[in-house]
Amino acid sequence: MTSHFEYPSDREAASAAQVRALEKLLIEKGIIAAGTVDKVLGYFESEMTPLNGKKIVARAWSDAEFAQRLVSDTPAAIAELDLPIGMAGAEGEHLAAVANEPGVHNVVICTLCSCFPWPVLGLPPYWYKDPVFRARAAREPRAVLTELGVDLADDTEIRVWDVSGHSRWFVVPQRPAGTDGMSEAELAELVTTESMMGVALVETPARS
């Protein structure tokens, strides 16, 4: 079972072709410069990236007091870290973290459109915008999580958080077993975008 929804490769190829055609048209019309798209993509690759979220989660796993501050006042806690981007601005307004814990599992969706906390998770995956996923995750989150390979105990409470212009939610997943003694950098490597959306668990690292 994969940890995310898959789109057919031909659909992705068609979308890519449409994007290239639109870019070419905008350049020809003088609306954007030739290097604009590459500049924007570079921005998301270097600054608005899931690496920010990974570092935030790793710090929360390593520092219990920071973890508490992160949930109670997310922007202030994040401001303590040396990240390449501020958390205000595009899709970073009103950031709020929710933490998984024994008996509680959080899931982030956007039922209205595709709001997403870009500064900490980067750009949303294609399937996040899919109306079927959005509707089913809101209506039957346990069934969707099971299909995605997230098997939770029957008595685990599942909380669904609807991202909007007023709240940009992201999940602090539970720290997996077998990670004692790992550095923050090593812990960050274990965190995935899907786990910070609540649609995957962080796996216990393989022993060398």
Euclidean distance between CA atoms 140 and 145, whole angstroms = 9
| Residue 113 among known ligand-binding residues | yes
Q: Is there a catalytic annotation at residue 72?
A: no
Strand partners, 104: 101, 157
CA Rg, the chain, in Å? 18
164 is catalytic: no
Determine whether 41 is exposed, middle or buried from the number of CB atoms within 10 Å of its CB (0-12, 13-18, 19+): exposed
Catalytic one of 3, 114, 164, 167: 114
195 annotated ligand-binding residue:
no
| Choice among 15, 46, 72, 113 that is catalytic | 113
Helix (H, G, I), strand (E, B) or coil at 107: strand
The reply to whether 9 belongs to the active site is no
110 marked ligand binding residue? yes
Report the helix count and the strand count for the chain, using DSSP H and E: 9, 4
Q: Are 171 and 201 in contact (CB under 8 A)?
A: no
What interhelical angle do 50-62 and 64-72 show, nearest 10? 130
Bridge partners for 107 per DSSP: 160
Which value, to the nearest 10 degrees, does the dihedral of the CA atoms of residues 24, 31, 128, 172 take? 120
Catalytic residue at 114?
yes
Residues 6 or more apart whose Cβ sits within 8 Å of residue 183: none
Task: Provide the annotated binding site.
Answer: 110, 113-115
The residues assigned a catalytic role are 110, 113-115
Provide the annotated binding site for Fe(3+): 110, 113-115
